[in-house]
Every structure is written in C-alpha cells, then in structure tokens.
Amino acid sequence: MGRMVVSEFVTLDGVFEDPGGGEGSPHGGWAFKFERGEEGERFKYDELMAADALLLGRRTYEGFAAAWPQMNQDEFGQKMNEMPKYVVSRTLDVASWANSTILSGDPVEEVARLKTQVGEILLAGSGRLVNALHANGLIDEYRFMVFPIVLGGGARLFEDSEAQTSLRPVDVRRAADTVLLTYRPA
C-alpha cells in the first residue's frame, strides 16, 4: 500500500494560499520574504526524491504546469518534470505537463485506488483536496514548512470540519527562518 504525504508551506496563522505570489492574492509571495537555508532546501529535495508520484488539485496543477516545464536545469526540476503526476479535476480536459493523468472521478475513491498502485505520493498545495483526504483518513504524513509571519487573512489549510484528527510529531527541525514539522496520525 502506498503512502500519501502532504507537504505545505504555511504561515503561523495557518495560511497556505499563494506562498510564491503567482496566484495574485493580496498577501501572495510571503514565502520569499524568508530564508529556509540549506536544511530547508535539503528537506524539500529529499521529500521530492523519495516520492514516486505527485498529486495535485486542478488550480495547483495549473500553476505548477505553467512554471515547472521551464525549470529543468537541475536534478530537482528534472524529477518534477519526469515523475508521474495526477491531477484531481472534473473540469480539466487536457493535462499537458509531461506524465500527467487526470483523475476525474470521486477524489476520495480515486486517491484510495491510487494508493494501492503507487508507492509514496506527494501532495502539495491543493487545499480542498487535502481537506477531503484528511476527512477520509487517507493522509499518512503531514509535512509543514512554517514561515514566521502572520498574514491575518487568506485561505487556511484546514477548513472548519467535523473531522478531528490527533497527530503525533515525528520530526521537528529549524531551517534558517522556518521550522520544519512532520506529523503522522496518532
């Protein structure tokens, strides 16, 4: 059985929206105000290299697909572009980024099936998808790179939900200005 790993950039107040600034939100680009240092770079590198596939919601997929094909100069970019990618969408007709497959059925059923076929699946961004998988117990690990900023507005990763999940910390590290937190369901 595969593993679903969620990896997110988040602020101290839980905002995950538009860390790079490409979505045009009022607070976008907040992640670039801070250093994540060698430790943070290694964290992101190691998690991508360990992943067998990438899972994204439509909006995150479209943002990644617009940027990553031009970033093929190093091992990280090459892995992003070559690895299998799955996009959960009922509205997307064509997935043009290399090695992309559209999952157009029920997201929970599609991902549960995918977990039986693929080893480690990395899920980034994609808040609605994260919430659906979280509510259905399909996430095996949560990784957060926490940035030292309070935005006071913006989309928060976990919406109001009746799906409470106790998590157990398995790793805590400092990476320059950020803190790296890894949790698994308790």
What's the pLDDT at 165? 82
* pLDDT for the residue 3: 96
CATH number for the domain running over 3-185: 3.40.430.10
Give the whole-angstrom CA distance, residue 6 versus residue 76.
18
Name which of 147, 142, 148, 150 is nearest 183 in CA terms. 142
Residue 115, pLDDT score: 96
Total residue length of the chain: 186
At residue 135, the 3 state secondary structure works out as helix
Q: pLDDT at position 31, please?
A: 95
Largest CA distance in the chain: 44
The pLDDT assigned to 75 comes to 94
Q: What is the pLDDT of residue 7?
A: 97
pLDDT tens readout for residues 78-114 = 999 999 999 999 999 999 999 999 999 999 999 999 9
Question: Looking at residue 73, what DSSP letter applies?
Answer: S
Q: For the range 102-107, what are the long-range contacts, defined as Cβ-Cβ under 8 Å and sequence gap of 24 or more?
A: 107/132, 107/133
pLDDT of residue 132: 92
Provide the percentage of residues in the chain whose pLDDT is more than 90.
Answer: 83
57 strand-pairing partners: 88
* Distance, CA of 133 to CA of 24 (rounded, Å): 26
What parts of the chain have a pLDDT lower than 50?
A: none
- Locus of tokens 């790296």: 180
Which amino acid does the sequence have at 141?
Answer: E
